[in-house]
Structure 1
Amino acid sequence: MTLATEAADTARTPARGGAFYRMVWKWHFLASLYVLPFMLMLSLTGGIYLYKPQIEEAIYADRLNVTPAGAVLPLEEQVAAVEAEAGITRMRGILVEDDPGRSVRIEFNDAEGVRSYAWVNPYTAEVLATAPRDAMAMQVLRKFHGELLLGDFGTKFVELAAHWAIVMFVTGAILWWPRGQRTFKDAVSPPKGTGRAWWRETHLFTGMLATVLIVPIIISGLPWTDVWGGSLSQIQERTGQASKSLRFGGNVPGSTADSGTPIGHEAVLAVAQAEGLVSPWEMRPPSDAAGAYWIRSASLDRYEQTELIVDQYTGAVNARVDFTDNPGVAQAVSLGISFHQGELYGWVNIVQNTVAALLGATLAITGFVAWWMRRPAGKLGVPEAPEGRLGTGMIVLAIGLMILFPLMGASLLVALALDWLIFRRLGWFRAA
């Protein structure tokens, strides 16, 4: 519910509230100035990314699919084919499916050190295609969605938008709540009227639905962020709630020896299958002579994502972590990410998140139009709000949100300082 607008030419007229209501309205408006462009961008890119498998199937069908022809060649022979064609300075991993019509994907650093993918026909060892990982269409979209293609610098802006979006939805819910002559039936009814009234009502109605669907998506994405997510990781570490994943080293056991003849990828895959891991299988080779293979099920079902550490000389399973071995918080974070990506409960999750993406885009557009139509000519149109000290309700709301979202809190303190030092003197962000 971005940029709620004042009452005008409609039967469902929201009441003019007291000091708290008007202050909430102003902060909702100011938060929306920053959030709206991000809301539109994140909704569009996130909505498209939900269909990553279907889009990649359409774009890269020639490298993802093969015609079964005889016996599958050993993985070592397929890796050797990539080495001969592209050069491998670092072997990163292999993704294998149990579908006979799918290629094998090999991840590696090429001769120039670029992190790349190669797709290999498992029946002929033909390298169907190679490409830098970060040049893949959906990887570019994902990086734009999460960091604006600006790395760690850009991700701070996206995280800040997510924090302020929470503020926007909280204040928007307060503005939407029926009061005065506006009944609950009015608030939940589809938009009516024409012109500015229709845009306002559409914005309010869309915001009501969006709050229910988008806020959980925002919250489930916060563990990915630098500041909020980094703080959560530290809390998990200190409270014993961190993930037990074997993927990124740490206390992961190595092999029982540091020399000998490695068993190879094929044998590791056979171990994983014997241990009951389901397709697709993702494996990574040892980093050195004393290391071990890491392999997991890359199933979309988190409860099937078992990980193994396999001794590179004996083939023994040195460690196993099932999803349910993780502490409760780690499981909740993982399931939240699955929900965020539309993977938690099949096509229903996809449809739900698609609707949320459409609502987010609609919310951004209607909020902008509603503001544009109500603003005075040549003015920003900041809603009128009481000057001076904040009321108790606003102080409690602000402090609570600052504690929950520290990056937002820091930006709020900066904004208040700029307002006191500069904006007031220039007359910026003041009601007409």
Structure 2
Amino acid sequence: MTTFPSANPARPGSRNRFPDLYRAVWRWHFYAGLLVLPFLIWLAVTGGLYVFKNQIDGFFHQQLMSVAAADTPVRAPTELAAAALAAHPGALLKYTPPAGPARSAEALVSTIAGERLVVFVDPYRARVLGTLPDGGSVAWTIRKLHSLKYFSPIARGAIEIAAGWAILLVLTGIYLWWPRGRSGGVVSVRGTPAKRVFWRDLHAVTGLGVGGMVLFLALTGMPWSVLWGQQINQWANGNNFGYPAGVRVQVPMSQVRLAEGESTTWSLQQAQLPQSGHEGHQGHEDHDGHSGHDGHEGHTAHAGHAVPDVPPLPSALDLDQAVAAFDRLGLAPGYAVQMPRGPKGVYSGSVYPADLARQRVVHLDQYSGKPLLDMSYADYGPMGRTLEWGINVHLGMEWGVFNQALLVVTCLGIVLLCASAAVMWWKRRPAGGLGVPPQPANRRLQAGVLALLLVGGAIFPLVGASMLIMALLDWLAFGRRAQQTPA
């Protein structure tokens, strides 16, 4: 039987209050685990694999992504794109120049059959190496499995709920772990695997070791969630333009968003693309070198103003000229070029390397080649920079091998936490029962703990709703009778 540690015995009545609080917290910790453990194992396994995305794709798609370097110059982008289109007729949506001398070029093609294919081309010989569906690499498949993107929005909402309950697990787990005068089971494991105390201590000590990272991963994963993440993204971007604070936008904007054509950073999910062919109406250059009429941030030209007739537009730049312009601007290797969409579209060059300082998105006027917008990580507002840094660590990209090792150890720790919790529960559950921890004698205390939890639930609405449902089920099942569960 579990012995609940007491508070300070010198204080009258504290021995009676403390077990009730412990039981209330333990009960919610149990319910959180009941809901979250399967999801945590899924997230840990898929997340631990995705940490090695470059190595995984390099292994499984080596014949597509790698080429033998040659002494001859790399062929022109238009020639490589033409080779891709000759093999798979359709429209070119995006072109990615070779990221290094031994890397292939990539052309994203919308085929006449309606497929979106990434066509890999040898940059020295203009020979098509093969194709993959857009987002169909092994690493991207793992990432979509990690977020349940293959399933319905309801399933993705379950991931959001699981992340919120994982936060609850960590916070309540810290309370349950707190020594309160004990020495065993705090940083050491007692007993043998045959005994429940071994699994209890193993669970507690593992939680102590990886709990901080579990909390960090849950919080940094929330920006990508289906409900909370979408709403906070809209709010953080302000006015629904999505451009970071400090970038003064006074060029005509389209209704097309950057995220519609490619995978982009969280801070640019709502970013709209500017329009080409309007250089004569962009206003003067302000003292920061940004185009602007009145210095306001994130505003397009005022609606309702008459736009004078403009002369016919010159011929558009070809892909060779656009790539040359991006090279002159110094985009990091591995950048992708999104093709203009229609006569007012722009060439968009974007790159999101592990080094946040080199993240960059540049939009070129498709006629003049003039940069209409040039955004980098330094242009993001404080919230955007903080969230992007957190996401970079979450993806294992910030500190190289150390970041990968930290995440792998954390993922292994999560699996061990889940396994030890399952064994511990199995050993303490009564025959034929669920083994729910005993209710506190003071039911107001149970309600008070729920009220505190719902404060966090108000921040994450799906999590708060699930807490209310769990509290209702608990009341329906156990509210009318006291339950004493063997410990």
Question: Normalised by the size of structure 2, how large is the TM-score?
Answer: 0.80
Residue 395 of structure 1: CA displacement? 4.4
Unaligned runs of 5+ in 1: 1-5
After superposition, the Cα gap between the structure-2 partners of 1:273 and 1:428, relative to the gap in structure 1 and judged at 3 Å, is: farther
User: Separation in 2 of the partners of 1:98 and 1:238?
Assistant: 34
Q: Is the 8 A contact 1:96 1:281 kept in 2?
A: yes
Out of 356, 363, 368, which is 1:309 matched to?
A: 363
Residue 401 of structure 1: CA displacement? 1.8
Deviation per residue, 1:215-263 (Å, 9 max, x gap): 1111111100022212312331348995539834754322126744322
Out of 280, 286, 305, which is 2:334 matched to?
A: 280
Residue 173 of structure 1: CA displacement? 0.9
Is 1:405 aligned to 2:460, yes or no? yes
Out of 64, 74, 82, which is 2:76 matched to?
A: 74
User: Separation in 1 of the partners of 2:152 and 2:347?
Assistant: 30
Would you tell me which structure has more helix in proportion to its own residues?
1
Once the two structures are superposed, the pairs formed by residues 3-402 of structure 1 within 5 Å of their partners are: 7=2, 17-69=18-70, 70-88=72-90, 90-147=91-148, 149-179=150-180, 181-183=181-183, 186-194=184-192, 195=194, 196-238=196-238, 243-244=243-244, 247-248=258-259, 251-256=272-277, 259-386=313-440, 388-391=443-446, 394-402=449-457
Deviation per residue, 1:329-349 (Å, 9 max, x gap): 011111111111011122211
Query: Which has the higher Rg, Structure 1 or Structure 2?
Result: 2
* Partner-residue secondary structure (3-state), 2:274: coil
Cross-structure match for 2:308: none
Q: Which amino acid aligns with 1:411?
A: S
Q: Which one is further off, 249-258 or 408-417?
A: 249-258
* Partner-residue secondary structure (3-state), 1:147: coil
Unaligned runs of 5+ in 2: 7-14, 248-256, 260-269, 279-311
Return the structure number with greater relative CO, CA threshold 8 A, min gap 6: 1
Q: Which amino acid aligns with 1:7?
A: T
After superposition, the Cα gap between the structure-2 partners of 1:326 and 1:355, relative to the gap in structure 1 and judged at 3 Å, is: same
Q: Which one is further off, 145-154 or 278-287?
A: 145-154
Q: Is the 8 A contact 2:435 2:485 kept in 1?
A: yes
After superposition, the Cα gap between the structure-2 partners of 1:131 and 1:252, relative to the gap in structure 1 and judged at 3 Å, is: closer
Deviation per residue, 1:155-194 (Å, 9 max, x gap): 1111111111111111111100112x414xx454231211
Cross-structure match for 1:3: none
Q: Which one is further off, 256-265 or 19-28?
A: 256-265
Q: Which one is further off, 117-126 or 258-267?
A: 258-267
Q: Is the 8 A contact 2:316 2:366 kept in 1?
A: yes
Q: Is the 8 A contact 2:98 2:123 kept in 1?
A: no
After superposition, the Cα gap between the structure-2 partners of 1:256 and 1:430, relative to the gap in structure 1 and judged at 3 Å, is: farther
Root-mean-square deviation over aligned CA pairs: 2.6
* Partner-residue secondary structure (3-state), 2:56: helix
Question: Normalised by the size of structure 1, how large is the TM-score?
Answer: 0.89
Identical-residue share of aligned pairs (%): 30
Number of residue pairs the alignment of both structures matches: 418
After superposition, the Cα gap between the structure-2 partners of 1:240 and 1:326, relative to the gap in structure 1 and judged at 3 Å, is: farther
Residue 405 of structure 1: CA displacement? 2.1
* Partner-residue secondary structure (3-state), 2:219: helix
